A and B are shown apart, each in its own frame.
Chain A
Amino acid sequence: MDFSFSEEQSMLKDSVTRFVQDNYDFESRRTLAASDAGFSTEHWQTFAELGWLSIPFSEGFGGFGGGVVDSMVVMEELGKGLVLEPYLATVLLFGGLLQKSGNQVVQDAYIGSIIEGSLQGAFAFVERDSRFVLNAVRTRAEKSDGSYWINGEKTVVINGASADKIVVSARTSGNTHDEGGISLFVIDSKEAGVKISSYRMMDGQVVANISLDQVSVSTDHMLGEEGEALEVMQEVINDAMIAVSAEALGAMEKALQITVDYTKIREQFGVAIGSFQVLQHRMVDMFTAVQETRSLLYRAACSLEAGSDEAIKDLYALKVKVGRAGKLVGEEAMQLHGGMGMTDELDVGHYAKRLRMINTLFGDADFCQQRFAQLSYR
C-alpha cells in the first residue's frame, strides 16, 4: 500500500511543473490560443527535448515504456496551466493506438517521428450522431484493388487541423451499431478526398470536421485485424480517460487556489470576503470535491495498471466524479469571483470552460454513471 511516486515520476512531475510556471502565465496562454495553430510548435520541441513525447512508447521504439501513472503525472501538471499543446491527441491517442495495434510497418514509420516532435497525429472517432458510443460508426471502408476506400465524415477531431496523420475508425462490415466490423486506418491528412474544416472550441482547442470521399489507404496502414478494432479503441480511450481526469484534477486544484487567494484579498463591507463563513464552507466543498477526484484517480489508475477486474468500474466512477466535481469547482470558482468571474480577461472562467469540455470528452458524467450502474447491478 503506497501512493507515493517513484523517483523518476517525481522528477517528471517537477520538470512539467517548471515548464508550466516558466511558460504558461495566463497572458502567454491567451496569445497562443489566439494563434492560427492554437499552440506553440516551439513548446512542442521542448516537450520532445524533455522526453515527454516518448512516455507511452516501448523502449524498442526509443520510448520511455511508461504506463498510465506516468502520463497521469504529466497531465495533472499540464492541467494547472491549461496547456494547449496537443499531448493528448498526438501522444496518448494517436500514439497509443499505434503502440497497441501491433502493426510494425506503421509503428516503424511514425513512432520515431512522434518522439522527436516532427509528427502531429489525431484520432477521429466521433461522428455526427455517435455521441459517446465508440461502436456507432457509419463511415465505411471497402477493399478493392489491393487498397481500402473510405467514405464518411468524422466530427470534432481533436488536433484535426494540425495533424499530419490521422487514425480513422471505419466500418468494414456490419451495421452502424454493431460491435464487430470496425477497423482502424492511418490516413495522411493531405491524401486525395480528405477535406478538413477546422474550428475552435471554447477552451481554445482547434478541432476539425473531416470528410472522407473515396480516400485510399494501403492495406498495411490498417491497425490490427480487420473488423476487430473496438477493443483496442476502448483500451486507448480508457488510458486517455485517466489522463484527462488527471488534467481535470490539475485544473480544479488551480481554480480552487485562485479562488481562495482572491477571496483573501477582495474586500467588501470593509473586510476580505473570505472571512465570511458562507463562502468558506463553499470553498471547503470545492476542496472536498478535489480530494475525492484525486482518490478516485489513484484508485482507477492503480487498478487499470494492475489489470484488476474492477478496473472499468473504477474508471467510470472516476469519470462521473470528474464531471460532477469539475462542474462544481468551475462554477463555484466563477461565482465566488462575482462579476469578475464573468470576464474573459480573468483566468478563472477559462478553467471552468476546460473542465466542462473534459466532462464531455469520452463520455459525460451521466453516460458514465449509466455504464457504472450496469456493472454494479449485473
Chain B
Amino acid sequence: MDTTFTPEERVFRDEVRTWIKRYWTEELANRIADKSTFKEAQTELQKLLNDQGWMAPGWPEEYGGTGWSVTRRYIYNTEMARAGVLGPADPMVFGVSMVGPVIYTYGNEEQKKRFLPKILTSDEWWCQGYSEPGSGSDLASLKTKAELEGDHYVVNGAKIWTTYAHYADWIFCLVRTDSSGRKQEGISFLLIDMKTPGIKVNPIIGIDGRHTLNETEFNNVRVPKENLIGEQDKGWTYAKSLLTHERLYVANVSQSKRSLAELKKLAEREWAGGQPLAADPYFQQRISDIEIDLMALEFTELRVLSAAAAGKEPGAESSVLKLRGSEIAKALQDIKMDVAGYYAGIDDADNNANHSFANKTRIDFMYGRASSVYGGTNEIQKNIIAKAVLGF
C-alpha cells in the first residue's frame, strides 16, 4: 500500500503546472467569466489545449488522444481542476467526453473523419439532447420521434435542459424510431446540425439568474440518414455504454478542495462578534464535518484509480463517487452562502455593493443545486447502487 506517485508521474505533474502558469491567465479567465466574451474566450482556451495535444486526453491516440495511463489522466484532471481551468460545467464535455467516444466507438469511418477533428479544434461546439419535458429520470420514456422518409429522418418533438444549445453547432439526440416494443428498444442515436430549418432554441433562465439552459424544439427537422450512429433502434445501448466511460472523474474532488480552501479564507475575512467566523468552534465543526467527508471522497477516488491503474474493473466503491461528490459540493456552497451573510442575497451582478464574492457565491450555490439532479438524480443513483451493489 502506498499513496505516492512515481518520479515520472511527478515530472508530468510539473509539466501540467507549467502549462497552466503560462496559459491560464487572469485575463483569459475573466473573459470566460464574462458572458459577452464567453464563447470566443472559451474557444481560445480550448484551442490552446488542442495545440498542446491535451484537448481529449481520454481518446485513443489514433483519433487525437494522448495514450496516457489512468494515473496521468488523474493527475491532469486534478491539476486542471485545481487551477480552475476545467470544471464540471465545461462546454467541452459534450463534444469531448460525451459524443466523441460514441462516434469513435460506434460511428463509421466517414463520421469519425467528419466530426472528431472539429471537436478537437473546437470549430464545432456540441450540446446534448437526451431529457424531454416529459422524460427526466425515466429517460427511456422519451417521445421525440424520427421517421425515415427517403434519405432523411424527419424529427419532431422537444428536448429540455439542453445546456449551451444557444452556442452549439451540433446536437446529439436520442430519438424514438420505433414504439412497438420495450421502451428501451426503438431508440436511435442521431447527430443533428443546429442550423437545420425547424429547430428553435428557447432560453430557460436558471435560478442562478443566468442563461445556460434551453428547451430545443424540433418541427419537421430533416436529418440526413448518414447522421445516424450505428444501427437504427440501438441508440439506448450506445448512450448507456457512455455513462460507464467516465466513472473516475465524476466526484469533482479538486473543485471541492478549491471550494473548501476559499471558504476557509472567507471565514478568516468575515467578522462576527469581534472575531473572525473561522474562530467560532461551531463554525469550525460545520466545516470540519464536510472537510472529513471530502478527505474520504478523495481516497475513495484514489481507490478507484488504483484499481483502474492495475487494469481491474471498477469496484463497488466507484458507485458512491457521484452521489457523495454532489452532496459535498452542495454542502460547501451552502456554508459559503452562510458566510456571505446578508450579502449572499445580492442579486445584481454589475453593482455588487463592494462584496465581490457574494454574487459569485450566490450563483455557484444556485447553479450548484443541479449537481444532484443532472446525470441521474441522487435518488436514481441510490436505486442503481441498491440494485447493482446490494443485489436488490
Residues of A in contact with B (beta carbons under 8 Å apart):
1-5, 69, 260, 264, 274-275, 277, 280-281, 283-284, 287-288, 291-296, 298-299, 301-303, 305-306, 314, 317, 320-321, 369-370, 372-373, 376-377
Report A376 CB to chain B, min CB distance, Å: 6
Q: Which residues of A contact B306 (CB under 8 A)?
A: 1-4
Report B96 CB to chain A, min CB distance, Å: 24
Determine if B148 is an interface residue (Cβ-Cβ < 8 Å). Answer: no
Report B327 CB to chain A, min CB distance, Å: 9
Q: Which residues of B contact A291 (CB under 8 A)?
A: 296, 300, 316-317, 320
Please choose the segment from B15-23, B214-222, B231-239, B281-289 that sits at the chain A interface, where 4 or more of its residues have CB less than 8 A away.
B281-289
**A69 & B295 in contact (Cβ 8 Å cutoff):** no
Segment 174-224 of B: residues with Cβ below 8 Å from A: none
Which of A292, A301, A321, A376 makes the CB contact (< 8 A) with B324? A292
Report B339 CB to chain A, min CB distance, Å: 14
**B323 & A288 in contact (Cβ 8 Å cutoff):** yes
CB-based A-B contact count at 8 angstroms:
129
Report A37 CB to chain B, min CB distance, Å: 35
Q: With A281-B382, A292-B300, A321-B292 in contact, is A2–B392 under 8 Å at CB? A: no
Q: Which residues of A contact B71 (CB under 8 A)?
A: 1
Q: Which residues of A contact B158 (CB under 8 A)?
A: none
Chain B 260-282 near chain A by CB (<8 Å), digits 1 or 0: 00001000000000000011010
Q: A1-B305, A292-B297, A298-B303 are in contact. List 16 more A-B contacts (CB 8 A).
A: A1-B302, A280-B386, A283-B386, A284-B390, A288-B323, A293-B296, A295-B296, A295-B298, A295-B302, A296-B299, A299-B298, A299-B299, A302-B2, A305-B1, A373-B281, A376-B291
Q: Which residues of A contact B296 (CB under 8 A)?
A: 291-293, 295-296, 299, 317, 321
Q: With A and B bound together, what is the CA distance between A377 and B383 in angstroms? A: 38
Determine if B89 is an interface residue (Cβ-Cβ < 8 Å). Answer: no
Q: With A and B bound together, what is the CA distance between A151 and B309 in angstroms? A: 58
Q: Which residues of B contact A301 (CB under 8 A)?
A: 1
Determine if B106 is an interface residue (Cβ-Cβ < 8 Å). Answer: no
The closest CB in chain B to the CB of A73 belongs to B1
Report B303 CB to chain A, min CB distance, Å: 5
Q: With A2-B310, A291-B320 in contact, is A372–B385 under 8 Å at CB? A: no
Q: Which residues of A contact B299 (CB under 8 A)?
A: 295-296, 298-299
Q: Which residues of B contact A287 (CB under 8 A)?
A: 316, 320, 385, 389-390
Report B377 CB to chain A, min CB distance, Å: 12
Determine if B5 is an interface residue (Cβ-Cβ < 8 Å). Answer: yes
Q: With A260-B391, A280-B390, A369-B288 in contact, is A288–B320 under 8 Å at CB? A: yes
Report A72 CB to chain B, min CB distance, Å: 9
Which of B4, B300, B392 makes the CB contact (< 8 A) with A264? B392
Q: Which residues of B contact A277 (CB under 8 A)?
A: 383, 386
**B382 & A284 in contact (Cβ 8 Å cutoff):** yes
Chain B 1-36 near chain A by CB (<8 Å), digits 1 or 0: 111110000000000000000000000000000000
Q: With A1-B306, A280-B390 in contact, is A292–B293 under 8 Å at CB? A: yes
Which of A69, A264, A284, A320 makes the CB contact (< 8 A) with B292? A320
Q: With A and B bound together, what is the CA distance between A376 and B383 in angstroms? A: 36
Determine if B138 is an interface residue (Cβ-Cβ < 8 Å). Answer: no
Q: With A and B bound together, what is the CA distance between A314 and B386 in angstroms? A: 30
Which of B288, B295, B382 makes the CB contact (< 8 A) with A299? B295
**A295 & B297 in contact (Cβ 8 Å cutoff):** yes
Determine if B61 is an interface residue (Cβ-Cβ < 8 Å). Answer: no
The closest CB in chain A to the CB of B312 belongs to A4
Determine if B379 is an interface residue (Cβ-Cβ < 8 Å). Answer: yes
Q: With A and B bound together, what is the CA distance between A135 and B141 in angstroms? A: 65
Q: With A260-B390, A295-B300, A314-B295 in contact, is A69–B1 under 8 Å at CB? A: yes
- 23 A-B pairs (CB sep. < 8 Å): A1-B4, A1-B5, A2-B306, A2-B309, A260-B391, A260-B392, A288-B385, A291-B316, A291-B317, A292-B300, A295-B298, A296-B299, A299-B295, A299-B296, A302-B3, A305-B1, A306-B3, A369-B288, A373-B288, A376-B284, A376-B287, A376-B291, A377-B284
* CB-based closest 3 A-B pairs: A295-B299, A280-B386, A292-B296
Q: With A and B bound together, what is the CA distance between A295 and B305 in angstroms? A: 12
Which of B2, B302, B324 makes the CB contact (< 8 A) with A288? B324
Q: With A and B bound together, what is the CA distance between A317 and B385 in angstroms? A: 26
Report B257 CB to chain A, min CB distance, Å: 13
Q: With A1-B306, A1-B309 in contact, is A303–B1 under 8 Å at CB? A: no
